[in-house]
Each structure stands twice: as structure tokens, then as C-alpha cells.
């Protein structure tokens, strides 16, 4: 049936991903870019663990060791490129694979590299969470809604360059898998496109902020000056090829 065919297909892909015959780096990159289309992250991790823990006697020792190294290489790529896929349970499972199985099989170099990558990614995640949680409210308000006085005092190019930096920071964090299946449009899958959603949210906020800075002013003359300022900023954004904020 369809479910059985799907399982077989996934297993075949994982066998190729961890083949003892050939390491196809292009296939590794493509696989981790699109796997959410056909399997969840926890299930994929469990299948990789199962692939690593092949029973003795199924293959000769050399081939079995090569497969285990391929699994470790695939996990390393996954951790480095798509760490947002890993929840706390998956992190614990990777730790167990490293500390129990890889050390037992004397893949100590591979185990140490994987553990170092894992710890680094955990530290980076915690630092990001800490930065957001401890952002001063005054700074947040200043970022979200700068005063019209500050805007009028700044040169249009300075404002445009700061907007470009903000947009670039968000854009660089968008992973290729976030663009699959219009995930950001579906409430059930939008968590798979976190940075796309964040980029769109910033765009919507900015689109509301611009007219707000105009309408907050009391006189038609002041509003006209603010509109002129934003037109100049838009021109600078266009010169920088920042079509996100121009819109």
C-alpha cells in the first residue's frame, strides 16, 4: 500500500545517505534540504540511529564501520546546518548515541567532533534566547517606533542603510527548507518557516510604522516633510537593491 511504499522509499534514501560505497556530499545537502516533505525530524533521527546500530554479522566489520562513520557525518551536517530541527528530546538522543554507541565502537574522534558541534549549537541557542529575553524594554520600544524627531534628524541614506542591515540579518537566517510547500501560510506548518514568518512580520510592522510616523504629526506641513523624508529613504533603499523595505 501507499504507506508501505513511502516507508521503503525513506529507508532507501537513508541507505544511500549513509552508503558504505560512496559519500555523495551533494546528495547529503539535498536530502537535509527537503526531508521535511516526507518525514519528521524525530523519525529521521531514530532511523539514523537504527542505521548506526546495525547488528553484528549483517555486514563485515569494515563496511559496518564505514556506515557508522557515514551516519556520524550526516548527523554533523544536520547539526551544523539545521539545528533548529532539534528539540530537547532529540538532543538527548544524540548525546546518548555519542556517549554510548560511538564511544563503545571506538569512534572517539567522530564522537568528540559531534559532541563539540552539539555543545556549540546549544550555547548559541541559549545565547540567542538570553539576548531576546533580556532586551531592555526601552531599547525595544526605540527600535519598534523611533520618534519622528529622530527620523527627521537622520539622513535618508543612514536610515536606509540601517534598514538594510536589519533585513539582511533576517534574510541570512532563512534556510532553504523554510521555502518548501508555502509552510509560512499554513498554521500547522508555519513553525517550519520561522525566519520567513519573522521576515514577513517585520515587513508588516514596517508597513504600518511608516504611515504612523506621518499621521502622528499635527500639521499638514510637518506631514508633508515626513512623506518627503520617506520618499528619499525609499530611493536610497532602491539604490541598495532592498526591495523588501521599499514595498
Distance of CA 45 to the CA centre of its chain: 18
pLDDT at 145 exceeding the cut of 50: no
Reference 78, options 104, 134, 39; nearest CA is 39
CA pair distance 2, 16, nearest whole angstrom: 21
Burial of 231 (0-12, 13-18, 19+ CB in 10 A): exposed
Res. 135 pLDDT band, cuts 50 70 90: very low
The overall average pLDDT reported for the chain is: 84
The percentage of residues in the chain with a pLDDT greater than 90, rounded to a whole number, is 40
Residue 151 has pLDDT above 80, yes or no: no
Confidence of residue 140 (pLDDT cuts 50, 70, 90): very low
What's the pLDDT score for residue 52?
A: 94
Other CB atoms within 10 Å distance of the CB of residue 184: 19
The three grid cell numbers given for residue 165, joined into one nine-digit string: 542591515
Structure-block grid coordinates of residue 219 = 500639521
Give the residue-averaged pLDDT of 112-120.
Answer: 94
Counting beta carbons within 10 angstroms of the beta carbon of residue 77, is it exposed (0 to 12), middle (13 to 18) or buried (19 or more)? Answer: middle
Position 89 scores a pLDDT of 92
Three-state SS sequence of 110-161:
HHHHHHHHHHHHHHHHHHHHHHHHCCCHHHHHHHHCCCHHHHHHCCHHHHHH
**Which has the higher per-residue pLDDT, 178 or 150?**
178
Q: Which residues make Cβ contacts (< 8 Å) with residue 90, sequence separation at least 6?
A: 41, 42, 45
Whether the predicted pLDDT of 16 surpasses 80: yes
Which residue do the cell numbers 510547500 mark? Answer: 181
Q: C-alpha dihedral over 7, 13, 14, 17, to 10 degrees? A: -170
pTM value?
0.62
What are 171's three cell numbers? Answer: 534574510
Cα–Cα distance for residue pair 16/155, rounded to 1 Å: 56
Cell (9 digits) for 65: 564501520
User: What's the pLDDT score for residue 147?
Assistant: 52
Res 34: pLDDT: 86
Q: Which three cell numbers stand for residue 112?
A: 568528540
The set of cell numbers assigned to 212 is 504612523
Mention every residue, 6+ apart, whose C-beta is less than 8 A from residue 247. 203, 207
Amino acid at each position: 500500500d501507499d504507506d508501505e511504499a513511502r516507508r521503503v522509499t525513506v529507508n532507501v534514501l537513508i541507505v544511500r545517505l549513509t552508503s558504505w560505497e560512496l559519500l555523495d556530499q551533494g546528495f547529503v545537502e539535498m536530502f537535509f534540504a527537503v526531508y521535511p516533505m516526507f518525514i519528521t525530524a524525530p523519525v529521521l533521527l531514530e532511523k539514523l540511529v537504527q542505521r548506526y546500530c546495525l547488528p553484528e554479522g549483517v555486514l563485515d566489520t569494515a563496511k559496518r564501520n564505514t556506515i557508522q562513520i557515514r551516519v556520524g557525518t550526516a548527523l554533523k551536517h544536520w547539526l551544523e546546518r539545521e539545528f533548529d530541527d532539534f528539540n530537547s528530546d532529540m538532543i538527548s538522543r544524540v548525546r546518548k548515541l555519542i556517549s554510548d554507541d560511538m564511544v563503545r565502537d571506538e569512534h572517539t574522534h567522530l564522537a568528540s567532533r559531534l559532541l563539540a558541534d552539539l555543545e556549540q549549537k546549544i550555547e548559541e541557542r541559549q545565547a540567542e534566547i538570553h539576548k531576546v529575553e533580556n532586551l531592555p524594554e526601552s531599547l525595544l520600544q526605540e527600535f519598534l517606533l523611533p520618534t519622528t524627531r529622530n527620523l527627521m534628524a537622520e539622513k535618508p541614506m543612514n536610515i536606509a542603510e540601517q534598514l538594510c542591515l536589519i533585513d539582511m540579518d533576517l534574510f541570512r537566517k532563512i534556510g532553504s527548507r523554510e521555502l518548501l510547500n508555502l509552510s509560512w501560510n499554513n498554521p500547522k506548518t508555519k513553525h517550519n518557516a520561522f525566519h520567513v514568518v519573522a521576515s514577513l512580520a517585520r515587513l508588516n510592522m514596517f508597513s504600518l510604522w511608516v504611515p504612523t510616523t506621518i499621521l502622528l504629526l499635527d500639521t499638514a506641513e510637518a506631514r508633508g516633510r515626513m512623506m518627503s523624508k520617506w520618499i528619499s529613504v525609499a530611493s536610497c533603499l532602491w539604490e541598495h537593491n532592498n526591495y523588501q523595505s521599499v514595498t
